[in-house]
Amino acid sequence: MPIRRMRNQDQFPLNPDRVRIELLSGLTVALALVPEAVAFAFVAGVNPLVGLYAAFIVCLITSVFGGRPGMISGATGALAVVMVSLVASHGVNYLFAAVVLMGLLQIVAGIFRLGRFIRLVPHPVMLGFVNGLAIVIFLAQFSQFKVTGPDGAKTWISGLPLVYMLGLVALTMAVIHFVPRLTRLVPAPLAAILVVAAVVIGFDIPVPRVGDMASIAGGLPEFAIPSVPFTLETLEIILPYSIIFAAIGLIESLLTFNLVGEKTGTRGGASQECVAQGAANVVTGFFGGMGGCAMIGQSMINVESGARTRLSGITAAVLLLSFILFASSLIEQIPLAALVGVMFMVVIGTFAWKSFTIITRVPRIDAAVIILVTIITVLTDLAIAVVAGVIISALAYAWSNATRIRATVEDTDDARIYSIEGPLFFGSAAGFQELFKPDEDPDHVIVDFKSSRVADQSALQAIEALASKYEAAGIRLELRHLSRDCHALLSKAGQLMIDSDDDPDYGLAVHYGVRIGRFDTAH
């Protein structure tokens, strides 16, 4: 009997208890989004409201239409560090135009179902991504330990304010740790923020607060077409940035997509997430936002608080807008120490601590990939780290398979039989050629591919070259157990193939001659 895939809303029906969890999780996320959005706006060199509007719009649209309920998106540091050069050289309107184009590219990626290629990211790369992002989140919190002096320069806090700050961070982390043991009625991060805020406000402790970063008061975002010339020159300026934005945004979103799926045990649509991310960025570009993507920190806060449906993300977005419109003076009183403590606990929960133990047990190349991706994520950006990790893993896999090609030789009364084992592809083609010695073989040679598989054009070329060698040596060559595709695609060696009932039926994923095959099945 086929098993029906349980949809997310079937797993977590919106009963009163579920609604309470989702609403409180959304409130916790909204509070954590404020300083993050403001900080990333500063990094990108734009007004804080540009970051807050992006957080609201991107969070709302992806929560409603995204492929992974419970995942939180908004303005992110990974995009902000790339945006700063465009803003500095051409102004914020060019950023808005680039964000709109970024969204269109992401929609196209979703329509063509490119999101499914996230499956090609190996597990070591995922571990490196998680560890690298955890370290980045951890390091980003240290900016909250700086204050702006009269001359506008940032300086580290010291003395008693630093003691207060560290003590409140520790209090926040302690509350998050112990509250789940006492009650599940309130998410632990929210309880910690409320407790620490009450202590700071009640005792008037002099520590940095959200309002010290910037005022978050504002109105509704307004629709406006980016004020840039609609010329090819403008397209030449924004297109490279848009491609980078789209790539970074989708990579971070899809990796977070997988991570949230592992944490919650839910299913989702990667291509649907691509379209939702793209639509969100198109809209935010027209409403004065800096664009965004999935946020691993806020997503972890959300799922660790118990959220599993779209309601939490929608709540977070609506509350964030409410803060901007109606409650800015209240939200600005929240101590940054409380939010730093929350993010430190996110780091502890996100970092793959098991990688310290498995790194000694996995193959050395996998261990190297974990470490490399982690380092590159911290030092440069996520997209470069993931691409580097995938390339290294792919090359290692190709090399491993290239060394697996071998032959068992058997002599019969009338022929010498080479039984080929292992995949025949570009990496093993040279090794395949070295298996044969036409100058020592008898007049009749049979090459049996029953335990092998011809994978690409390089493999076909190697077979053609082998046929030419034996033809030049005057030796009769027979090829057995090659697929019908091989028969059709081989020119010189095609007439040497012997048909049999147990020939394999796989296709070739190459373009050779006039035919394109596909990998489906193999006998």
Residue 275 is given by DSSP the state: H
In angstroms, rounded to a whole number, what is the distance separating the alpha carbons of residues 34 and 45?
17
Sheet bearing 476-480, strands edge to edge: 406-411, 416-424, 444-454, 476-480, 497-498
Cβ atoms within 10 A of the Cβ of 51, count? Answer: 31
- Measured in degrees and rounded to the nearest 5, phi and psi for residue 512 equal -140, 115
Q: At what angle do helices 123-140 and 364-379 cross, to 10 degrees?
A: 30
pLDDT of 519: 29
Angle, helices 77-90/92-111, rounded to nearest 10 degrees: 130
pLDDT at 149: 73
Q: Taking Cα atoms as reference points, which of 206, 189, 208, 195 lies closest to residue 144?
A: 208
- Ordered by start, the domain boundaries in the chain are 14-141+150-212+230-366, 403-516
pLDDT in tens, the chain (523 residues): 343 444 454 467 889 999 999 999 999 999 999 988 988 898 888 999 999 999 999 999 999 999 999 999 999 888 988 898 999 999 999 999 999 999 999 999 999 998 888 888 888 998 998 898 889 888 888 888 888 777 777 889 889 989 999 999 999 999 999 998 888 788 889 999 999 999 999 999 999 999 888 889 999 999 999 999 999 999 999 999 999 999 999 999 999 999 898 888 877 789 999 999 999 999 999 999 999 999 988 999 999 999 999 999 999 999 999 999 999 999 999 999 999 999 899 889 888 898 888 888 888 999 999 999 999 988 887 778 888 999 999 999 888 888 889 999 999 988 999 999 999 999 999 999 999 999 999 999 999 998 988 888 898 899 989 989 999 999 999 988 887 777 676 765 655 666 666 667 665 544 333 332 322 333 3
**Integer angstrom CA distances of residue 83 from 222, 238, 302:** 21, 11, 27
446 Cα distance to chain centroid: 48
Q: Please give the structure tokens belonging to residue 501.
A: 């009932």
At 36 the pLDDT is 86
Whole-number pLDDT of residue 254: 93
3-class DSSP state of 378: helix
What does the alpha-carbon distance between residue 323 and residue 461 come to, in Å, rounded to a whole number? 66
In this predicted model, what pLDDT tens digit does every residue of 34-86 receive, in sequence order?
988 988 898 888 999 999 999 999 999 999 999 999 999 999 888 988 898 99
393-432 residues labelled b (16+ CB within 10 A) or e (exposed): beebeeeebbeebebeeeeeeebbbbbbebbbbbbbbebb
Are 64 and 310 in contact by the 8 Å Cβ rule? The answer is yes
Q: What confidence tens digit (pLDDT) does each residue in 110-141 have?
A: 999 988 888 888 889 989 988 988 898 888 88
User: Which of 260, 309, 323, 265 shows the shortest CA–CA distance to 19?
Assistant: 309
**What local confidence, expressed as pLDDT, does residue 240 receive?**
95
CATH (residue range 403-516)? 3.30.750.24
pLDDT at 90: 95
Which residue, chain included where needed, has tokens 């403590």?
Answer: 341
